[in-house]
Homo-oligomer: A and B are copies of this chain.
Amino acid sequence: MLIVMQHAAAADEVQRVVDTIESLGYEARPMPGAQRTAVGLVGNDGRVDASRLAALPGVKEIIHVTQPYKQVSREWRDEPTVVRLADGLAVGGNDVVVMAGPCSVESESQLLTTARLVRDAGASVLRGGAFKPRSSPYSFQGLGIEGLKLLAKAREETGLLIVTEAIDTECIDAVADYADIIQIGARSMQNYSLLKRAGKINKPVLLKRGLAATINELLLSAEYILASGNEQIILCERGIRGFDNATRNVFDLAAIPVVHSLSHLPIIADPSHATGRRDKVIPMARAAVAAGADGIIVEVHPTPDTALSDGAQSLYPEQFEDLMRQARLIAEASDRAIAAPLPSQVTT
Does A204 sit at the interface, judged by CB under 8 A?
no
Residues of B within 8 A of A135 (CB): 68, 190, 217, 220-221
A49 to chain B, nearest CB (A): 7
A242 contacts B244, C-beta separation under 8 Å: no
Does chain B have a CB within 8 A of A274? yes
Binary CB contact string for chain A from 222 to 245 against chain B (1 if under 8 A, 0 otherwise):
011001100000000000111111
Report the stretch among A81-89, A119-127, A149-157, A246-254 that lies at the interface.
A246-254
Is A11 an interface position by the 8 A CB rule? no
Question: Nearest residue in B to A217 (C-beta to C-beta)?
Answer: B135
For the complex, is A347 an interface residue (Cβ under 8 Å from B)?
no
Contact with B along A50-73 (1 / 0, CB 8 A): 111011100000010110111000
How many chain A residues touch B (CB < 8 A): the figure is 116
Q: How far is the CA of A2 from the CA of B332 in the complex (A)?
A: 40
Instruction: Flag whether A212 is at the interface (Cβ < 8 A).
Output: yes
Residues of chain B contacted by A193 (CB below 8 angstroms): 167-168, 170
Min CB distance A285 to B, Å, is 9
Q: How many copies does the complex hold?
A: 4
Cα(A44)–Cα(B35), bound, Å: 8
Name the distance in Å between A336's Cβ and chain B's nearest Cβ: 11
- Which residue in B29, B47, B63 is a CB contact (below 8 Å) of A63? B63
* Inter-chain contacts of A22 with B (CB < 8 A): none
Q: Specify which of B49, B54, B250, B304 is in contact with A240 (CB 8 Å cutoff).
A: B250
> In the complex, what distance in Å separates the CA atom of A245 from the CA atom of B47?
22
Complex formed: what's the CA distance from A66 to B215 in Å? 26
Q: How far is the CA of A252 from the CA of B309 in the complex (A)?
A: 25
Residue contact B42 to A31, C-beta cutoff 8 Å: yes
Query: Given contacts A51-B311, A191-B187, A246-B216, are A253 and B287 in contact (CB under 8 A)?
Result: yes
16 contacts between A and B (CB under 8 A): A2-B63, A32-B42, A34-B42, A49-B309, A55-B304, A63-B65, A133-B192, A135-B221, A169-B170, A214-B244, A243-B243, A257-B279, A286-B291, A286-B333, A329-B332, A330-B333
Which A residues contact B (CB, under 8 angstroms)? Answer: 2, 4, 6-8, 29, 31-36, 38, 40, 42-47, 49-52, 54-56, 63, 65-66, 68-70, 75, 133-140, 167-170, 187-188, 190-194, 210-212, 214-217, 220-221, 223-224, 227-228, 240-247, 250-258, 261, 274-275, 277-280, 283-284, 286-292, 304-314, 326, 329-330, 332-334
Query: What are the 4 A-B residue pairs with the smallest beta carbon separation, nearest first?
Result: A212-B212, A290-B290, A329-B333, A54-B312
Known: A56-B305, A68-B136; 20 extra A-B contacts, CB below 8 A, are A34-B43, A34-B45, A36-B66, A46-B136, A49-B311, A52-B307, A63-B65, A136-B223, A168-B191, A212-B240, A212-B243, A242-B252, A247-B258, A256-B283, A286-B291, A287-B288, A326-B334, A329-B330, A329-B332, A329-B333
